[in-house]
Structures are given as structure tokens and as C-alpha cells.
């Protein structure tokens, strides 16, 4: 198996050529991903201006009669129907795509889903957000950047690990563009997608992240997500409050993630036709928006107002937090295309503002104002959802340029992640992948072993005979081979037993593998095994597929481990 792989391995380019290829790819992918992300944001904002009325602009339409409430209810429902039809008739996969698909592609060295499904998913996300669905824009932007980076996979450029690096470059540029935060974009690509910091990958992702920042911030002059004036933490006891806020945000993040998973599972059992589920979620969202218009869309307006003292009352904040959690889970679970990053930011910032309002209302403790608590809540809730604590801390620093507020957020983020990781898992993305059979929680090598069928490790040149073959003939064949066991089948090829060199009658071995057995499961089952090899049979028919030896299983494990170590320590 190893020799065959080496024979077909692509030729590796010289170091100088590899450096040039990586630089050009990083610049090209970074520029394309940044422009695509800006186009997506502009398209969504245009649709929002045309189809939705901003919550604080509704007073201008008091004389419009039933038009405003009718549009508020109907627009998300119509958007849901359009999204369902797009996914059903335009996408071969028939479902939205996001960060889990990107992580799975990179970690298991598989191509991203087909281009048509990816483009349809991105357009469906644009429609979802444009028509006011309670979903996020950053997940679709991450997939859009990865999709552009994935084009490089088709090229044979002689650079090891280039497909994964190219995807990471697209992701880094997209996040950098979205937040005007190149350092956060770089770290997100390594922390969430690549899950290592090799020099080979670090350099091109840095170039892509900076390219995205230059295009968004210097050339197109994209505005910051929000502006905060903060003069520093004025009281030492507030760091205990930041830690307490982290504990509460961890609980809220766990509730949010579990609700998303639960409603996604319930949607299939709801009895509502799949093509009508997003419309049903949109209808529920529109009805709620008649009283709480801030639940519509990405929520940038509410995000900015949450850092202003007095913009929301305590009761309004509590209701908005509960409604946004429930409606986001409903929209995602019932089939709208979009992410959880933006809703998590909004839920967290509103909850942080609510926490400050409750503390300030008691008058028992002095505080440094609402802004620091709102931002701490935003990042403490978001970081366990996306599994990127370092990224969220850096986003705070790059958005605010304020060291004190970054330290405060760091306390909340660390406490929140410690609890959420222990109770729920590393992130919503990782749990979704684990439920789909790609469990990364115990490490990258274990996940790849669990994803690799043992049938890929079959040993050749074995002795196979039918059960009607004379025993002496089988023994003669064994004597002229290095094997001590022959594998018997019936006339239809179904496995019936093993005949050893020293026996006159065949026996059925206690240990057998089937076509669904993984290399990890095989390694665990081989403890204490004595014999030549283990038969691998078809799960349904019992047909003998082949046999696998201990040596071939160990070889597969070593191949995967060495491949990961080379990737994680690659210099160029």
C-alpha cells in the first residue's frame, strides 16, 4: 500500500518555487475571497433596505396602515419558501453548507462538496439574510472563502498540503474582511480549520488575511462593526463580575447549541413537508417581529445599540435574548441557510448588557459602564459556539483597539470555554461533525483512523478455497506459501470458516470484520489476537472481501500519524 502511494505521489517543486506558488495563491485567494465577502454583505444589505424596515425607522411609516405589519410577516415566510425551492431544485446535496463541511474537508483531506451545491448554498444564505431570517452571515462567508480556496485543489502545483492551506487562506481572508480584523482572521483559520500552526501554512494565511483587510478597510473603507469608547476598568472587583458573566454565558451558549441540535432533529419528525419548513420558520419569525422587530436579520442595529446605556430596558433585553435564541434555532433547524456566528454575537452582547443592567440596578457594586460588559458577554457566548476562544479575544482587540477591554473579555471568554467545553464539547461545529460520524474530540489522528475503513488495508495473495475443496489440496497450497491459514467460502462466495495448516477441520474464527469496520475499531479488537489475519466480510451478504493482518493495520496507523506530523511541522 505504501509503495503504491509513493509511486503515484505528485512531484514536489523546489523550495523557491513552492514559496512563489504559496505567495501567489495566498494573494489570489485572499483577494477573491475578500471581494466575494464584500459582495455578499452588500447584497444582503441591499435586500434588507428594499424588503425590511429598520426597527427604529418604523415610526416614519405609522400612516402606512397594514403594509408594514403585512410585510413584516410575509417577507421572511416568502424568503423561506424561496430558500427551500433553491436547495431542493438547484443543489445536488439539497441542504445548506457551512463551517462543518469546511472543517471536515480539511481534517480528512477530502474535496469540498460539489461547486453547484456550494454556490447554491451561498445564494440561499444571501436570500435568507436578505429576507430577514434570524441566521448569521459569517458562516456562509467562511464557506464562500473556503470554496474559492478549494479551486486550487484541482491544480497540481507540487506543494505538499496545498489544498488545506488554500482553503485556510480563503477562510482567513473572509473573516478578516468581515471584522476588519486580519489577526483574528489568521488565527481563526488555524484554530478552527487547520488546527495547527505550521510555518508552511502560517505564512500564506497571513498574506491572505492582510489582503482581505487591505481591500475591506483601505480600498473599500468598510465601516467597523461598532465603535466603543472605554476608558478602562476602574474597579478591581469587576474582574470577578467578568468571570461570573463568563459562567452565565457558558450556560446560555450550551442552551443555545443544544436547542439548535434539538430543533434540527425535531424538524424531520414534525410532519411539515421539507419544502415548507423554512417558510413555517419565517412565518413564526415574522409574527414575533411585529412586537420585537430586532429579531429580524443579522441584527447589526441592535448590536450597536446594545453598548449604549439606556438604549434597551432590562425587560426588553431579557425578552430579546430569549426570542433570538429560540428563533435562531428554529430558522437553522427548519432549513434556512446561514450561520450561528452573528446570532451568537447578538445574543451575547444583549445578555452582557442585561447582566450589567441587573448589577447596576442593585446599586451594590460600582461598575465601569455597560460597554465592557456587553462586549464581554458577546465574546464569552460566541467563543464556545464556534470553538475559537483566541479568535474572539483578538476580534475584541482589533475592533476596539482597547487593551483594558480586551483583558476583561479574556477573563469571560476563558471561563466560558472551560465550562462549555467540559459540558457540551469544543464547538457546535465539532458536535455536528461527531453526530455525522467525524469525531474530532479525541484528536485528529484518532478521527482519521475512525473514518478509514479497514477494507482499505487488505492483505493480498491469501489462500482462498471453497468449502468443497479437499483438505489435502488446501494443505498442499499452504505448504507452498507463507500462510498458515486458508479462508473458505461457499459456492456463492460467502465466508464459512478458516482451515489451519495443523487442522483437518475448518473452524469459524471468533474475530471477524465487516466492510463498515474502521481502522480504529480494528486496532482495538486486535489486542491479544493470535493468527495470520482477520477475515473481512460484507455486512449484509457475508461475502468474503479479503483479510487484514495486524501488520497492515499498524502500517495504516503509522501512515496517518506520520502524515499529520509532517503537516504540523512543515516549514515550506
pLDDT digits (tens, 9 = 90+) for 235-257: 889 999 999 999 999 999 999 99
pLDDT at 57: 56
Instruction: Report, at the CATH architecture level, how domain 449-563 is classified.
Output: Roll (3.10)
Per residue in 442-480, pLDDT (tens digit) is: 888 889 999 899 988 898 888 899 888 899 898 899 888
DSSP SS3 for 32: helix
pLDDT of 3 over the 60 cut: no
Mean pLDDT of all residues in 104-111 = 92
Question: What DSSP line would sit under 87-154, residue for residue?
Answer: HHHT-SS-S---HHHHHHHHHTT-PPSPHHHHHHHHHHHHHHHHTT-S-BSHHHHHHHHHHHHHGGGG
Question: What is the structure's pLDDT at 7?
Answer: 42
pTM for the structure as a whole: 0.89
Which band of pLDDT confidence, cut at 50, 70 and 90, is reported for residue 491? confident
Cβ(40)–Cβ(124) below 8 Å: no
Residues 6+ apart with CB under 8 A from 528: none
Measured distance CA(301)–CA(132) in Å, rounded: 13
pLDDT at residue number 18: 86
Under the banding of pLDDT at 50, 70 and 90, the label for residue 4 is very low
238-435: which CATH architecture?
Answer: Orthogonal Bundle (1.10)
Tell me the C-alpha distance between 234 and 232, whole Å.
6
Identify whether the C-beta of residue 437 lies closer than 8 Å to the C-beta of residue 111.
Answer: no
Q: What is the mean pLDDT of residues 25-39?
A: 95
pLDDT at 298: 86
What is the CATH code for 12-226?
1.10.3080.10
Residues in CB range of 146: below 8 A, 6 or more apart:
102, 105, 112, 167, 170, 171, 193
The answer, yes or no, to whether residue 293 has pLDDT greater than 70, is: yes
d(CA 549, CA 545): 14
- Comparing 12-226 with 449-563, is the CATH topology the same? no
Contact, 301 vs 56, CB < 8 A? Answer: yes
In 10 A of CB 363, how many CB atoms?
A: 7
Predicted confidence at residue 60, as pLDDT, reads 54
Q: Which long-range contacts (CB under 8 A, 24 or more apart) does 484-491 make?
A: 484/532, 485/531, 485/532, 485/533, 487/462, 487/463, 487/535, 487/544, 487/547, 488/464, 489/464, 489/465, 489/543, 489/544, 490/466, 491/466
Q: Do strands 495-500 and 485-489 pair parallel, antiparallel, or not at all (unpaired)?
A: antiparallel
β-pair partners for 507: 498
Check whether 482 has a pLDDT greater than 90.
no
In this predicted structure, what is the pLDDT of residue 153? Answer: 76
Q: Quick one: pLDDT at residue 543?
A: 92
Whether 401 has a pLDDT exceeding 90, the answer reads no
Q: How far apart are CA 192 and CA 166, in angstroms?
A: 15
Distance of CA 414 to the CA centre of its chain: 21
Any idea which of 6-20, 259-273, 301-315, 365-379 has the lowest mean pLDDT?
6-20
Which residues are CB-contacts of 62 (< 8 A; sequence separation ≥ 6)? none
Among 283-297, 321-335, 427-441, 527-541, the minimum mean pLDDT is found in 527-541
Alpha-carbon distance of 370 to 377, in angstroms, equals: 11
User: What integer pLDDT is reported at residue 400 of this predicted model?
Assistant: 86
pLDDT at residue 10, rounded to an integer: 57
Q: Is residue 543 helix, strand or coil?
A: strand
Beta strands 464-466; 485-489: pairing state: parallel
Question: In what order do the strands lie in the sheet containing 534-537?
Answer: 513-514, 534-537, 544-548
Q: What's the grid cell of residue 488?
A: 473458505
3-state secondary structure (DSSP) of residue 546: strand
Q: How far apart are CA 400 and CA 225, in angstroms?
A: 10
Distance between CA atoms of residues 425 and 440, nearest Å:
10
Task: Provide the pLDDT for residue 2.
Answer: 40
**Per DSSP, what are the bridge partners of residue 500?**
485
Q: In Å, what is the CA distance from 35 to each residue of 31, 205, 365? A: 6, 16, 47
Range of weakest confidence among 82-86, 421-425, 512-516: 512-516
R_g over Cα of the chain: 28
Q: In angstroms, what CA-CA distances link 379 with 175, 271, 287?
A: 15, 37, 29
The stretch 117-123 carries a mean pLDDT of 96
| Spatial distance between the Cα atoms of 148 and 117, rounded to a whole number of angstroms | 13
Per-residue pLDDT tens for 326-366?
Answer: 999 999 999 999 999 999 999 999 999 999 999 998 888 88
Domain boundaries, given as residue ranges, for the chain: 12-226, 238-435, 449-563
In a 10 Å sphere around its CB, with 0-12 CB exposed, 13-18 middle and 19+ buried, how is residue 354 labelled?
Answer: buried
User: Checking phi first, is residue 371 left (phi over 0); if not, alpha (psi -120 to 50) or beta?
Assistant: alpha
Residue-wise pLDDT tens digits, 49-100 = 888 876 655 555 555 668 788 888 999 999 999 999 999 999 999 999 999 9
pLDDT tens, residue by residue, 160-208: 899 999 999 999 999 999 888 999 999 999 999 999 999 999 999 999 9
- pLDDT above 50 for 8: no
Between the alpha carbon of residue 430 and those of residues 326, 327, 333, 413, 438, the distances in Å are 21, 22, 17, 19, 8
Question: Rounded mean pLDDT of the chain?
Answer: 90
Amino acid at each position: 500500500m505504501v509503495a503504491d502511494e509513493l509511486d503515484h505521489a505528485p512531484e514536489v517543486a523546489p523550495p523557491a518555487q513552492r514559496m512563489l506558488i504559496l505567495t501567489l495563491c495566498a494573494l489570489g485567494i485572499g483577494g477573491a475571497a475578500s471581494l466575494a465577502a464584500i459582495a455578499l454583505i452588500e447584497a444582503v444589505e441591499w435586500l434588507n433596505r428594499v424588503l425590511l424596515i429598520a426597527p427604529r425607522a418604523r415610526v416614519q411609516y405609522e400612516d402606512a396602515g397594514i403594509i408594514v405589519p403585512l410585510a413584516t410577516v410575509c417577507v421572511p415566510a416568502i424568503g423561506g419558501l424561496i430558500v427551500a425551492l433553491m436547495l431542493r431544485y438547484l443543489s445536488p446535496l439539497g441542504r445548506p453548507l457551512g463551517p462543518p463541511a469546511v472543517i471536515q474537508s480539511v481534517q480528512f483531506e477530502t474535496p469540498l462538496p460539489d461547486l453547484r451545491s456550494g454556490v447554491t448554498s451561498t445564494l440561499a444564505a444571501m436570500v435568507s439574510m436578505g429576507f430577514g431570517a434570524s441566521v448569521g452571515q459569517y458562516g456562509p462567508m467562511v464557506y464562500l472563502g473556503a470554496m474559492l480556496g478549494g479551486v486550487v485543489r484541482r491544480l497540481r502545483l507540487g506543494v505538499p498540503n496545498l489544498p488545506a492551506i488554500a482553503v485556510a487562506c480563503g477562510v482567513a481572508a473572509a473573516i478578516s474582511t468581515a471584522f476588519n480584523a486580519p489577526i483574528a482572521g489568521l488565527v481563526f483559520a488555524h484554530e478552527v480549520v487547520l488546527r495547527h500552526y505550521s510555518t508552511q501554512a502560517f505564512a500564506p494565511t497571513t498574506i491572505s488575511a492582510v489582503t482581505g483587510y487591505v481591500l475591506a478597510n483601505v480600498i473599500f473603507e468598510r465601516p467597523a462593526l461598532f465603535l466603543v469608547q472605554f476608558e478602562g476598568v476602574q474597579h478591581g472587583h469587576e474582574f470577578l463580575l467578568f468571570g461570573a458573566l463568563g459562567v452565565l454565558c457558558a450556560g446560555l451558549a450550551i442552551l443555545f447549541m443544544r436547542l439548535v441540535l434539538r430543533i434540527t432533529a425535531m424538524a424531520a419528525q414534525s410532519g411539515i413537508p421539507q419544502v415548507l419548513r423554512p417558510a413555517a420558520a419565517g412565518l413564526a419569525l415574522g409574527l414575533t417581529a411585529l412586537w420585537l422587530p430586532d429579531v429580524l436579520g443579522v441584527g447589526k442595529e441592535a448590536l450597536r445599540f446594545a453598548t449604549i446605556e439606556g438604549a434597551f430596558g432590562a425587560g426588553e433585553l431579557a425578552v430579546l435574548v430569549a426570542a433570538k435564541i429560540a428563533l435562531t434555532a428554529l430558522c437553522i433547524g427548519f432549513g434556512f441557510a446561514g450561520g450561528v456566528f452573528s446570532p451568537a454575537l447578538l445574543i451575547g452582547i444583549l445578555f452582557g448588557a442585561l447582566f450589567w443592567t441587573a448589577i447596576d440596578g442593585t446599586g451594590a457594586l460600582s461598575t465601569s459602564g455597560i460597554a465592557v460588559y456587553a462586549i464581554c458577554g458577546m465574546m464569552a457566548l460566541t467563543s464556545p459556539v464556534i470553538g475559537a476562544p483566541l479568535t474572539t479575544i483578538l476580534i475584541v482587540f482589533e475592533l476596539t483597539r482597547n487593551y483594558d477591554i480586551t483583558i476583561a473579555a479574556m477573563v469571560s471568554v476563558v471561563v466560558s470555554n472551560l465550562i462549555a467545553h467540559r459540558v457540551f464539547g469544543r464547538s457546535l461545529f465539532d458536535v455536528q461533525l461527531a453526530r455525522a460520524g467525524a469525531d474530532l474530540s479525541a484528536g485528529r489522528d484518532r478521527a482519521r483512523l475512525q473514518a478509514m475503513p479497514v477494507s482499505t488495508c487488505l492483505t493480498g495473495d491469501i489462500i482462498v478455497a471453497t468449502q468443497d475443496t479437499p483438505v489435502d489440496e488446501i494443505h498442499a497450497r499452504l505448504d507452498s506459501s507463507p500462510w498458515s491459514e486458508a479462508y473458505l467460502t461457499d459456492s456463492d462466495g460467502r465466508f464459512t470458516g478458516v482451515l489451519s495448516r495443523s487442522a483437518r477441520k475448518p473452524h469459524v474464527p471468533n474475530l471477524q470484520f465487516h466492510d463498515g469496520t474502521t481502522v480504529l475499531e480494528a486496532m482495538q479488537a486486535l489486542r491479544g489476537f493470535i493468527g495470520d489475519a482477520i477475515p473481512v466480510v460484507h455486512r449484509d451478504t457475508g461475502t468474503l472481501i479479503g483479510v487484514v493482518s495486524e501488520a497492515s493495520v499498524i502500517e495504516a496507523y503509522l501512515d496517518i500519524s506520520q502524515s499529520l506530523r509532517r503537516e504540523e511541522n512543515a516549514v515550506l
